[in-house]
Amino acid sequence: MTFGAEFVALTLPPMVIAMLAAMACAAPGNFLLLRRQAMLGDAMSHVVLPGIVAAFLLTGSAAQPVMLMGALAAAALSAALIEVLRRITGAEPGAAMGATFTALFASGVLLLESSGAGGIHLDVEHALYGSLEALIWIDATGWASLTDPAALATLPPELPALALATLVILTALALVWRPLTIATFDEGFATSIGLPTRLISAALTGLAALAAVAAFSAVGSILTIAMLICPAATARLLTDRLSHQMALSLLIAAAAAGLGTLIAGYLPPALGLSFSVSAAGSVATLSGLFLGLAACFGPRRHSRAASR
Amino acid sequence: MVDPTPLAVPETALTLSGLTVAYAGMAAVEDASARFPVGTMTAIIGPNGAGKSTLLKAALGLIPAVAGEVRAFGKPVAASLGRIAYVPQRAAVDWDFPARVIDVVRMGQYRQTGLLGRLTPGLKAQAMDCLARLGMEDFAQRQIGALSGGQQQRVFLARALAQGGDLIILDEPFTGVDAATEAAIIGVLHALRAQGRTIIAVHHDLSTVPAYFDRVLLMNRRVIAEGTTATTFRRATVAQAYGDGLLSAIPA
């Protein structure tokens, strides 16, 4: 097997899937961050698990659309629970979210364990770390396969699904960019010019949930959380313009995902190490590293420090 | 079809009838009724916690009212939002937001540009002109977080100017701003009033009320008095709103 054949079959699909998942999450993550709702991203990526398990148990189907509906329903349910908890107990939003999503995630784990994980391609470990390495392209024989329709038809189904989800998320954000920006900066003013601010909030939550669902099956909930927040937080430190922040966050997300998968695949063997590391783990670690670098050496930090 | 009976031009910009707002079961504003004639400039005054900001927010539909009706220019307020410019309290937003001064002013042009509308050269020039009227044209490309409090307040007013509203509602526009900003803002507001626009502002500095405003609305959860500054801004009425003390500055 040549390097090209091995790369296209074993490394390229997980790498592209990780990059798509990272970008799908990073885009809505920018607005979650600015709305101080980073925790909501955390909540979304956790409630996906009970949603998927419940959908499987109710329908007996593990098809992508069924999983998606289950996860979206769980996201909606958790949003409602968070609101109810806030109103009844007067708890701060972060506490209400934390209580809701950890309880739902835990119930998802119990549900998964007690129902037997056999029929569904999920176990607790995959729910946390994803199964990037398993998303290989068996029929690929080399770079030529990228132009071979027969070979392309056997791509892992997660790849086209994630490509579609990423496209939907980016298009939706481009369409509502101005009202979403105005409502994020100044909700009172947005309402006063007739913008449907509640609908806009709900739509953003929906997009974050879609990103979390789409990314979850491939990369698991830990990487989903990292991807919803880290690239946007890194980009925020590098620029003071929202459009630039969005573009940078997508670039950073893709870079972390691409580099992370390559590192996980090639670095341990290159160093002569006998163990392997998880691709999702190295992508998430790299995202955190980028954020740390931006915090230490980013231009914004210095200019702000100087202006105070 | 032409309406056979021409409607009289409504002479009242904003009418509140029996407006009641409650937070967690406690009435913050109770049975407030008031009218704000076109071309006037009204100060809403009252002690802290009197429900001044709440009154304005409920009037605009930003927070729900328990009871009451609000009409703007003779129509339900929701149908007249296009003629109203609202300037929230400066502290209501996060000024660390990634935006430049000009970006904030252009938010005021949303109704002209819409969802996907592009900013025409005319609209761009208009946005710059609004900044220039507040002496802020040199700050157009500045990050909003790098501005002083007074400059931020001017940007908010420039955004309201860009909206081109007939009724401008301001929540504490002079709180925490420098004297130059206060003078710039009052100059712009008086010019707007001279053009027949209507202005309503929550105001705290009782000593400047007669110089700045031609009408006052005194409230402390309930409306205590409303009318022209000359007849209503009197020691006895103000004392009713504030209780006694700090009244030496007001004509008896």
Residues of B in contact with A189 (CB under 8 A): 86, 88, 107, 159
Whether B173 maps to a domain, the answer reads: yes
Domain extent at residue B70: 12-92+165-242
Q: Which ipTM did the prediction report? A: 0.90
* pLDDT value for A33: 93
Residue B43 belongs to a domain: yes
Of the candidates A34, A186, A240, the beta carbon closest to that of B88 is on: A186
Per-residue tokens: A47: 């409630």
Please report, in tens digits, the pLDDT of each residue of chain B (252 residues total).
Answer: 455 565 555 589 999 999 999 987 788 999 999 999 999 999 999 998 899 999 999 999 999 999 999 999 999 999 999 999 999 999 999 999 999 999 999 999 998 887 776 778 889 999 999 999 999 999 999 999 999 999 999 999 999 999 999 999 999 999 989 999 999 999 999 999 999 999 999 999 999 999 999 999 999 999 999 999 999 998 888 888 887 655 555 666
pLDDT in tens, A200-218: 988 998 898 889 888 887 7
State the DSSP code for B7: P
Has residue A306 been placed in a domain? no
| Residue A87 contacts B, CB cutoff 8 Å | no
Question: Which residues, listed in sequence order, are joined to residue B227 by a DSSP beta bridge?
Answer: B216
Query: A70-123 pLDDT, tens per residue?
Result: 888 888 888 888 888 888 888 887 888 888 888 998 888 888 888 765 555 566
pLDDT attached to residue A276: 77
Whether B184 maps to a domain, the answer reads yes
pLDDT digits over A31-79, tens only? 999 998 888 888 888 888 888 888 888 887 777 778 778 888 888 888 8
Whether residue A303 lies inside any domain: the answer is no
Whole-number pLDDT of residue A260:
93
Residue A308 lies in a domain: no
For the full predicted model, state whether its pTM sits above 0.90. Answer: no
Q: Which residues of chain B are within 8 Å of residue A34 when distances are taken between CB atoms? A: 94, 97-98
Answer whether residue B132 is part of any domain: no
Task: Give the H/E segment covering residue A113.
Answer: helix A93-115
> Within a domain: residue A102?
yes
Distances from the Cα of A42 to the Cα of A24, A90, A99, A158, B121, angstroms: 15, 21, 12, 22, 42
- Amino acid A46: pLDDT: 84
Contact state of A189 with B107 under an 8 Å Cβ cutoff: yes
Picking from B60, B98, B110, the nearest residue to A178 by CB comes out as B110
**Is A124 a member of any domain?**
yes
Residue A306 has pLDDT above 60, yes or no: no
Q: Using CA atoms, how far apart are residues A151 and A145, in angstroms rounded to an integer?
A: 6
Domain hosting residue A115, numbered range = 3-132+140-297
Phi/psi at B20 (nearest 5 deg)?
Answer: -130, 130
Count of domains forming chain A: 1
Predicted local distance difference test score (pLDDT) of residue A86: 82
- What's the one-letter identity of residue B173? P
Q: The domain spanning residue B174 has which CATH number?
A: 3.40.50.300
| A8 falls within a domain | yes
* CATH code assigned at A289: 1.10.3470.10
Is residue B140, in this structure, part of any structural domain at all?
A: no
| Token pair for A99 | 């209580």
A74 in any annotated domain? yes
pLDDT over threshold 50, residue A304: no
| Tokens encoding A92 | 């701060």
Is A236 in the B-facing interface, judged by CB distances under 8 Å? yes
For residue A302, what pLDDT band results from cuts at 50, 70 and 90? very low
Q: What is the pLDDT of residue B87?
A: 97
Specify the number of domains making up chain B: 1
Nearest alpha carbon to residue A235 among A34, A11, A64: A34
B89, B95, B107: best to mutate for the A interface, most A CBs within 10 A: B107
> What's the CA gap between A227 and A224, in Å, rounded?
5
Backbone angles phi and psi of B218, in degrees to 5: -95, 130
The mean of the pLDDT values for chain A is 85
Residue A305 pLDDT? 39
Parallel/antiparallel/unpaired status of strands B41-45 and B167-170: unpaired
Give a yes or no: residue B22 inside a domain. Answer: yes
Domain for residue B170, yes or no? yes
The predicted-structure confidence for A124-146, as pLDDT tens digits, reads as follows: 677 777 778 778 888 877 788 88
Model pLDDT, residue A133: 78
Report pLDDT for A308. 36
The answer to whether residue B192 sits within a structural domain is yes
